[in-house]
A = this chain, B = another copy of it.
Amino acid sequence: MSSSYFSFTIEAECSRTWARAGTIDTPHGTIRTPIFMPVGTQATVKSVSPEELGAAGVQILLANTYHLMLRPGSELIAELGGLHSFMHWDGPILTDSGGFQVFSLGHLRKLSEEGAVFKSHLDGSAHLLTPESVMRIEAELGADIILPLDICAAYPCSPLEAQEAMERTHRWSERALEAKERYRPEQTLFGIVQGAFEPVLREQSARFVGTLPFPGLSIGGLSVGEPKQMMWDMLHYTTPALPRNKPRHLLGVGSPEDLVIGVGLGMDMFDCVLPTRVARHGGLFTSHGRINIKAARFRTVHGPIQDGCDCYTCRNYSAAYVHHLARTEEQLYYRLGSIHNIRFMLCLANQLREAIIAGSYPAFRDEFIACYIPTSEAMREAQREKWKAARRM
């Protein structure tokens, strides 16, 4: 799939899984896939500078349309030269559509065929988002890849609700494609596949959205509270129905183990706040799983968080110092922890790519899963609840 502003080429495909390695070209640079995209919700990846993102191997960022349209406002960002200039990041950026946040953060007031009316979580003011207005807002933000307004069904939901949400998302997709024509040709609009947790709908949505003239596809509606296995099951119905030549973005998914498994299920792009959020709470990634740097056992550790890690943190600081900063809640900790986890994700994406090219992805995956102890389902649920509670404060 290519245009003068966007192209995706596949360099290697795994013979035993759906994994592939490719290259995406955008107006702000090239992206080698599979890729992890850190999230800069409010036009900043929390506590990390653009130079540090670059040094950690970041190739593309995701920013949240919902947050930025409310504050500081997309018109202001346009006036200041667009998101790239505003946040001093010259690489590719992807903006989501705001749809997910309208349902999860904002207070949805009215959902109709026209669009969604919601109350801002900041000041209670009412806003209308339509497939058309989202195209205008994202044009003002100026990201390289943009997403259309969609409806993310709740988990759990009835099959009928799932179908209605999907069908409306499809109709909105067509409206978005039409509206986008009025704005910036250098922006690339991805389609969003929905279908909740209904295998038939997932396949149907993949086929429908996959045939529309979107140069890439985001898989939405997953990682919304369901068990992990259920998410992977849905990809089993989705991926075979997707066109081969378009990059596939798994929206809002991105723990280390998710990346490794998702790649095998045909996903090329991943974004998630998890690596930076867990870092801020002391959770740092190592090849054996996530450690808690605040644990007393790190108090006297002379060596780095992970032996052999080439991130800024591990090259310059002992685990004991990072532990000290975390325990004393020093701001430098949040930065050092986030940089380490971001670098871990980018290294992992690169290792996956190399394994795919070398034809050894299945072995890499199996070895990773054998070594890396993931956070348990129960722990994940407890963390999610804790985070939700903190957000309500």
Copies in the complex: 2
The answer to whether B334 and A76 touch across the interface, beta carbons within 8 angstroms, is no
Closest to A68 in B: B324
A88 touches B316 (CB 8 A): yes
- A71 contacts B331, CB within 8 Å? no
Chain B residue nearest in CB terms to A328: B42
Q: Point out the residues of chain B lying under 8 angstroms from A327, CB to CB.
A: 71-72
Q: Mark A323-361, 1 if CB is under 8 A from B, else 0.
A: 011011011101100000000000000000000000000
Query: Does residue A9 face the partner (Cβ distance < 8 Å to B)?
Result: no
Interface range for A = 20 to 34
Q: Is A30 in the interface zone, CB < 8 Å from B? A: no
- CB <8 Å contact, B320 and A80: yes
For residue A28, CB closer than 8 A to chain B, the reply is: no
Q: Which of A12-20, A43-51, A105-113, A228-236 contacts B (4 or more CB under 8 A)?
A: A43-51
Among A72, A299, A316, chain B packs the most CB atoms within 10 A around the CB of A72
Complex: A165 Cα to B79 Cα, angstroms: 61
A66-100 interface code vs B (CB 8 A; 1 in, 0 out): 00000110001001100000111000000000000
Partner of A330 from the list B42, B80, B321 (CB cut-off 8 Å) is B42
Taking the nearest CB of chain B, how far is it from the CB of A327, in angstroms? 7
Q: Which residues of B contact A318 (CB under 8 A)?
A: 80, 86
Q: CB-CB < 8 A to A299: which residues of B?
A: 72, 76
Indicate if the CB atoms of B331 and A43 lie closer than 8 Å. Answer: no
Complex Cα distance, B55 from A80, in Å, reads: 27
Minimal Cβ-Cβ distance residue in B for A72: B324
- Provide the main secondary structure of the chain A interface: loop
A52 to chain B, nearest CB (A): 9
Could you tell me the distance in whole angstroms from the C-beta of A303 to the nearest C-beta in chain B? 11
B-chain residues with CB within 8 Å of residue A49 when the two chains form the complex: 332, 335
Q: Does A317 contact B (CB under 8 A)?
A: yes
* A40 → chain B closest CB, angstroms: 10
The answer to the question of A302 belonging to the interface, with a C-beta cut-off of 8 Å to chain B, is: yes
CA distance in complex: A87, B336 (Å): 12
- What are the residues of chain B within 8 A of A245 when measuring CB–CB? none
| Set B47, B71, B302, B316: member contacting A332, Cβ < 8 A | B47
A317 to B42, CA, bound (A): 15
A383 CB within 8 Å of chain B: no
A302 is contacted by which of B80, B88, B316, B320 (Cβ under 8 Å)?
Answer: B80
Interfacial chain B residues near A334, Cβ < 8 Å: 331
A276-319: contact bitstring with B at CB < 8 Å (1 yes, 0 no)? 00000000000000000000000110100000000000001110
- A sample of 20 inter-chain contacts (CB < 8 A) reads A42-B330, A43-B321, A43-B324, A44-B325, A47-B335, A48-B332, A49-B335, A72-B320, A76-B299, A76-B300, A76-B320, A79-B300, A80-B300, A80-B302, A80-B318, A80-B321, A86-B318, A86-B320, A86-B324, A88-B316
